Amino acid sequence: MYGVLFLKECKRTVKSIPYLILVVMLLVFGYTQIVPEFSMIEKPEPNQASYGVKYEEIPGVIMPSAAKSLYSEFAANTYVAYPLGFYKNVKLSDNKQARMADILSELTGTPKEDFMKSAGVKPETGSTLRIGDGSLMNLTPNGDGSYKLTIPKGQSSGSESAGSAITDVTVAKGLTYERFRELMKQADKLIGGGSMYDGIYLTRQFGRVPMTYDDALLQYNDIIEKDRISGAYARVFCDYFGLVLGIFPVFIAVALGMRDRRAGMLDLIYTRKASSIQIVFTRYLAMIVMMLLPVLLMAVYAAISVAGKYSGMETDGLAFVKYSLGWLLPTLMASTAVGVFLTELTDFPIAIAVQGLWWFLGMFAGMKHLDGGYGWDLFLRHNKIGNTQVFLDNFNTLLTNRILYAGLSIVLILLTVWIYELKRRGKLHAYNRIPKIFNHRRRKSAA
């Protein structure tokens, strides 16, 4: 009976319009955007002009770079931060700016007063700072709180202007990396969290160093040996499809969840012998399987396309399918479960708003580790072909994350079963509250 019901529920899913939209989206997106973007991974040759960049926690690189950045933000009193994942320009009070000057002073060994003078106290005068490559820039307030950066004309690098500004931000001698991290933590706290100086992002922001031939070769070998090429692309595949699966399934879950009530069929189904767990789980499973189908189809297509590109080299034929199941399935499960649960709870398409918000927040949260690193996001970003070591380094985070979301989905579905049974027995009437407003309106408009 389970099997037949499952097939019937699959059919019901397929026949819903949001499902068809999802399928078309996945196929078109995969076919025109993702797979064609799979550029060839070339083996690095010695004596290339550049091998790209990498991020490493090298104090000698991070410390001066972070100090310069902090000073320029301080001088402009405009700090970029992503609290809760949202982009924000933070402006600090005079009091906090003074404390920031303390931090800068310890960081650079320059007296606090110089910092106060150069920026915080009289921003109208504008200020000059020396940026990374040593050239000077003028910082002039625009009046609306933003600042304009200009390179002064005819001013040779090194010549000081008016003496008020600090032109060369260097790290104080003898500052240990540990103390530096502490200072950065304090700065982050002053800004309100989520700034570039937050411990997690320091390396990502300031640890940028050019890759050497050896580095590039190592990366290349990782892709060939550990990823067997396909894995390197599969992560990008998951990165893009995760964006879709983090939001679209909720429409299908809501549409199907509201359907019985819309059709006036609730009582006919409620009085059947099938248990609530059978009904809710079979429907959920049918939705998941049917939504996974186009993903797997694209996975097969991508695998074939990669194998074609690297004919003669060994690729992992199953990598895309494995990644789809391990990486994408929990995202699909969770966004569907949110739709199923909230729709059963409220008889209202509120899940679309909730999931929409979650997706939006996830988008911003993901910005911070766009090419790997993961974290607690619903859909995991990895917008870079390869980056194998980052993937391997964060594999445990990824695994925990995926297990968590799969588990969360199951819990939501179990709760849905419980609510379904309560409603079925007349012990819970979610619909009594909201739709009354609509009934009222309908009656009015009919009159």
Partner 1 sequence: MSGNEIVIRNLNKYYGKKQALSDVNLVIKHGMFGLLGRNGAGKTTLMKTLATLLNKKSGEINVCGTPIEHAREIRRMTGYLPQDFSMYPGMTVAEAMDYLGVLSDMGGVERKLRIPDLLEKVNLTGHMKKKVKALSGGMKRRLGIAQALLHDPKVLIVDEPTAGLDPEERIRFRNLLCEIAEDRIVILSTHIVGDIEATCEDIAILNEGRLLYTGTVHDLTASAKDKVFSVTVPRQNLQIIKDRYFVTGMLTTGSECHVRLIADQKPFPDAEFCEPNVEDAYMLYLHRNGVEKQKLGGEL
The contact set with partner 1 (CB under 8 A) reads: 1, 4-5, 8, 12, 15, 259, 263-265, 267-275, 279, 424-427
Among 129, 111, 130, residue whose Cα is nearest residue 119 = 129
* Three-class DSSP labels, 55-122: ECCCHHHHHHHHHHHHHHHHHHCCEEECHHHCCEEECCCHHHHHHHHHHHHHHHCCCHHHHHHHHHCC
Which one, 212 or 275, has the nearer CB to partner 1? 275
User: Letter for the amino acid at 441?
Assistant: R
Which one, 154 or 264, has the nearer CB to partner 1? 264
Which one, 8 or 440, has the nearer CB to partner 1? 8
Distance in angstroms (rounded) separating the CA atoms of residues 190 and 192: 5
The stretches of 379-434 forming alpha helices (DSSP H) are: 388-393, 395-424
CB of 275 to partner 1, least distance (A): 7
Among 133, 102, 126, residue whose Cα is nearest residue 115 = 102
CB-based burial label for 318 (10 Å; 0-12, 13-18, 19+): middle
Which one, 106 or 421, has the nearer CB to partner 1? 421
CB of 286 to partner 1, least distance (A): 13
Backbone angles phi, psi at 416, to 5 degrees: -60, -40
CB of 338 to partner 1, least distance (A): 24
∠ CA 304-310-315, rounded to 5°:
65
The tokens for 69 are: 């950045």
Which one, 8 or 189, has the nearer CB to partner 1? 8
Neighbours of 57 (CB within 10 A): 12
Which one, 269 or 357, has the nearer CB to partner 1? 269
Which one, 21 or 357, has the nearer CB to partner 1? 21
CB of 432 to partner 1, least distance (A): 9
Instruction: Kindly write down the DSSP assignment for every residue of 14-70, as one continuous string.
Output: HTSHHHHHHHHHHHHHIIIIIGGG-PPPPPP-TT-S---EEE---HHHHHHHHHHHH
CB of 25 to partner 1, least distance (A): 23
Which one, 8 or 43, has the nearer CB to partner 1? 8
Which one, 273 or 443, has the nearer CB to partner 1? 273
CB of 358 to partner 1, least distance (A): 31
Distance in angstroms (rounded) separating the CA atoms of residues 108 and 220: 39
Which one, 81 or 253, has the nearer CB to partner 1? 253
Q: Residue 140, SS3?
A: strand
Among 425, 404, 416, 408, residue whose Cα is nearest residue 278 = 416
Distance in angstroms (rounded) separating the CA atoms of residues 74 and 98: 10
Q: Please tell me what DSSP assigns to residue 391.
A: H
CB of 447 to partner 1, least distance (A): 20
CB-based burial label for 161 (10 Å; 0-12, 13-18, 19+): middle
How many residues are there in the chain? 447
CB of 343 to partner 1, least distance (A): 17
CB of 17 to partner 1, least distance (A): 11
CB of 350 to partner 1, least distance (A): 24
